[in-house]
Amino acid sequence: MILIADSGSTKTDWCVVENGVLLQQIFTKGTNPFFQSEEEISNEIETVLLPQLRAQELDAVYFYGAGCVPDKISMVHRAITKHLKVKGDVEVSTDMLAAARGLCGHRPGIACIMGTGSNSCYYNGKEIVANVSPLGFILGDEGSGACLGKLLVGDILKNQMTPELKEKFLSQFNLTPGEIIDRVYRQPFPNRFLASLSPFLAQNLNEPCVHTLVLSSFKAFLKRNVMQYDYRHNKVHFIGSVAFYYKDILLKAAQEMGIQPGTITKSPMEGLIKYHHEK
């Protein structure tokens, strides 16, 4: 019996699996060691995951998370082993590896994440061999929910959208310009806040300015990230809520950039369960 976790900045999907069969699925808040302390991560496991977890002992844990770069792995590892009884390995890896394994399995390909944040890599069927740094939503993360939210807010507050759209946006989210500035510059997790605004774009895609904003952001993601890999000889696969819900525009962007799209799915979990069963 193994536990597989896929954690983004917004939520963590924990799945208890035995012989490739899903036995239990639990959702908790997102875990990101760049923004959270070991104590905060440990507390979420202890107070939210453990009370729901039916398995008393696990053979292995595979935790894939945003921000789980080499120098942050040990703190996540400690938080997991502090509360979970595991007979075998506890493997902590990046959410990028989760996407690659979930999308490509044991085959080579280009894997992309487009959720709250964005990322991409070239995967040779065993490991990630090339990765363009996403740089986060301030310097990069093109095509992500946070980046789309940032572009939306910027256009709204700088009057680049119609007065009707501006009024509709502020009314729908019950926000003032001052409150937006406070949430972005002074409150924690501005990336989550900005990503939470991006569904407004999906609701108003018939507006030319909104359609252009989304398409341009997706093309920027492809140009600044995907096109640095061997995209002419590999299909490009996508995972995440933004890729899933904006699928039609993403496919249009790929076509305009001469990119061969492969799988587009919301979560890597189904692919990860298959990957670890076949491992």
pLDDT in tens, 33-50: 877 888 888 988 889 988
Which pair of structure tokens corresponds to residue 172? 């729908």
- Helix/strand/coil percentages in the chain, nearest 5: 45, 20, 30
Spatial separation of the C-alpha atoms in residues 141 and 136, rounded to whole Å: 5
Q: b vs e for 136-175, b when ≥16 Cβ sit within 10 Å of the residue's Cβ?
A: bbeebbbbbbbbbbbbbbebbeeeebeeebbebbbeeeeb
* DSSP-derived 3-state class of residue 260: coil
pLDDT of residue 272: 93
pLDDT of residue 227: 96
DSSP-assigned beta bridge partners for residue 21: 18
Spatial separation of the C-alpha atoms in residues 93 and 64, rounded to whole Å: 5
Which pair of structure tokens corresponds to residue 195? 């990503």
Angle at 153 between CA 181 and CA 216, to 5 degrees: 145
Smallest Cα–Cα separation from 6: which of 81, 86, 66, 75? 66
pLDDT of residue 33: 82
* DSSP-derived 3-state class of residue 158: coil
pLDDT of residue 210: 94
pLDDT of residue 133: 87
Q: Is the pLDDT of residue 8 over 80?
A: no
Smallest Cα–Cα separation from 197: which of 150, 262, 237, 163? 150
pLDDT of residue 255: 96
Question: Tokens 């890896």 belong to which residue?
Answer: 93
Q: b vs e for 4-14, b when ≥16 Cβ sit within 10 Å of the residue's Cβ?
A: bbbbbbbebbb
In the chain, the amino acid numbered 69 is V
Span 237-258, average pLDDT: 95
pLDDT digits (tens, 9 = 90+) for 156-195: 999 999 999 999 999 999 999 999 999 999 998 898 899 9
pLDDT digits (tens, 9 = 90+) for 39-87: 888 988 889 988 888 888 889 999 999 888 888 888 899 888 888 888 8
Question: Order of strands, edge to edge, in the sheet holding 21-29?
Answer: 21-29, 11-18, 2-7, 60-65, 90-94
HEC sequence for 2-70: EEEEEECCCEEEEEEEECCEEEEEEEEECCCCCCCCHHHHHHHHHHHHCCCCCCCCECEEEEEECCCCH
pTM of the model: 0.84
The end-to-end CA distance of the chain, in Å, is: 14
Q: Is the pLDDT of residue 279 over 80?
A: no
pLDDT of residue 191: 87
Q: Is the pLDDT of residue 30 over 90?
A: no
pLDDT of residue 203: 93
Q: Is the pLDDT of residue 137 over 90?
A: no
Q: Which residues lie below 8 Å from residue 97, measured CB to CB, with a gap of 6+?
A: 64, 127, 128
Backbone angles phi, psi at 265, to 5 degrees: -140, 160
Query: Helices (H) and strands (E) in the chain — how many of each?
Result: 13, 10
pLDDT of residue 66: 81
